Amino acid sequence: MTQVYIAAGGNIEPVASLSQALTLLRATWPDIQFSRAYRNAAAGFEGDDFINLAAGFNTDLSLAQVLARLHDIERACGRERDVPKWAPRSMDLDVLLFGAMVGEFPGAVLPRPDLLKRAYMLGPLAEIAGDLRHPLTGLSIAEHWRRFDRAAHALHPVDVPGLNSAGC
């Protein structure tokens, strides 16, 4: 079994899209755990705020199979893959960590290069996997979060149906 951590979020009807994604993710990976959801400003472009969270699950699937399933869930939530990278989206599901894998793979770079630079990825991940060691730095995710400039990257908790206030 491989422990996988992902980021989930969107800014087009984000509450409805996240609720749908939670249901589909749970159907695929019943042991999945979620962080709280957070509202944050769009990064890389002007647009509506995003709502993001992190999730972790165990799987016997390969990275390619996990990516394919995540893309299926994105499509079910209304995501169009042919839009620019820095643009509004209904659902974005990104693999942050896939076990201890490091390197470039078809469809992913692991660990996700911007994990340590984005509050909306790092903060929620620290909630559910604070003791986990980053495979490149050797520091815990919680330690990276403690060192992060949180004042410059505010996260605001949001209630999402299907996700209790402390995650689930």
Q: Is residue 72 part of a domain?
A: yes
Has residue 40 been placed in a domain?
yes
* 113 preceded by a cis bond (ω within 30 of 0): no
**26 falls within a domain:** yes
Residues 4 and 8: their CA atoms lie apart, in Å, by 13
Host domain of residue 37: 2-158
Q: How many domains is the chain partitioned into structurally?
A: 1
Q: DSSP secondary-structure letter at 151?
A: G
Write down the pLDDT at residue 165: 45
In a domain? residue 165? no
Instruction: Locate all alpha helices (DSSP H) within the chain, ordered by sequence.
Output: 14-28, 63-76, 119-129, 141-147
Across the chain, which has 168 residues, the per-10-residue mean pLDDT values are 97 93 96 96 82 98 98 90 72 96 96 95 97 97 95 89 62
Q: Which CATH number does the domain housing residue 24 bear?
A: 3.30.70.560
Per the structure block, which two tokens stand in for 151? Answer: 């004042």
User: Are the C-beta atoms of 37 and 159 separated by less than 8 Å?
Assistant: yes
Q: CA-CA distance, 18 to 92, in Å (whole number)?
A: 10
pLDDT for 79 equals: 75
Q: How far is CA 17 from CA 111, 139, 143, in A?
A: 25, 33, 31
Closest CA to 107 of 56, 65, 53, 55: 65
- 122 located within any domain: yes
Residue 168, in any domain of the structure: no
116 within a domain of the structure (yes/no): yes
- pLDDT recorded at residue 87: 67
Alpha-carbon span 127 to 94, nearest angstrom: 17
Is 163 domain-assigned? no
**Over the Cα atoms of the chain, what is R_g?**
15
pLDDT of residue 13: 93
Summary count for the chain: helices (H), strands (E)? 4, 8
The tokens describing 49, both together, are 């705020």
Tokens of 119: 């509050």
What integer pLDDT is reported at residue 33 of this predicted model? 97
